[in-house]
Amino acid sequence: MDKKRLEIIITVILGIIFLVVSINAVLVAIKKTKQRNAAQVFFPRSIPIAVKSPLTEVPENKPSWVRDPFSGKLYSSTSEIELHLEGILWDPEKPAAIINGEVVKIGDKLTNGSRIITIKQNAVIVNDGERNIEIKLGL
């Protein structure tokens, strides 16, 4: 083979390799975009709020009332509570909320013993016997 023909063959082979790699990169980018879009569309309809009993394991050098402020957990003297605010039926005179699949109004008592104090347009305030806990509607 002469030198010119060899250069053409090598150029064509390198062009084909470049084309295959480029198509593969585009397909991977499209796949990642579809996965990202699917993750943005799927989100939970409610945000669980866990309210637990006081800490049982307290470090020896700290008082019994100390808790981690960054844990995101709320503590009360009642047993463990799992509240899911699923929706709010807003009416200025008679607001209602859907908590754990149950329609409740102001003053109603939940199955865990908590009482509904206030229902706002985007949140519900419940009292667990010790303190008021605001549960915001998760969007």
The pLDDT value given to residue 117: 93
Binned at pLDDT 50, 70 and 90, residue 43 comes out as very low
Mean pLDDT, range 26-35, rounded to an integer: 83
Ranges 16-25, 46-55, 85-94, 112-121: which has the least confidence: 46-55
pLDDT-based confidence at residue 41 (cuts at 50, 70, 90): very low
* One-letter amino acid of 71: S
Is 110 a residue whose pLDDT tops 70? yes
Q: For the chain, what are the domain ranges?
A: 1-42, 48-136
pLDDT at 12 > cutoff 60:
yes
Band the pLDDT of 74: cuts 50, 70, 90.
Answer: low
State yes or no: pLDDT of 6 exceeds 70: yes
| Distance in angstroms (rounded) separating the CA atoms of residues 9 and 35 | 39
CATH of domain 48-136: 2.30.30
The letter for the amino acid at 46 is S
pTM above 0.75, yes or no: no
Residues of the chain above pLDDT 90, percent: 30
Residue 97 or 72, more confident: 97
pLDDT given at position 84:
84
Which pLDDT score is estimated for 66? 54
**Helix, coil or strand: residue 96:** strand
Q: Are 115 and 81 in contact (CB under 8 A)?
A: no
Taking the C-alpha atoms of residue 80 and residue 59, their distance in angstroms, rounded to an integer, is 22
Closest CA to 88 of 37, 42, 46, 38: 46
CB 108 within 8 A of CB 116: yes
End-to-end CA distance of the chain: 70
Q: Are 52 and 133 contacting, i.e. CB atoms less than 8 angstroms apart?
A: no
pLDDT bucket at 73, cuts 50 / 70 / 90: low
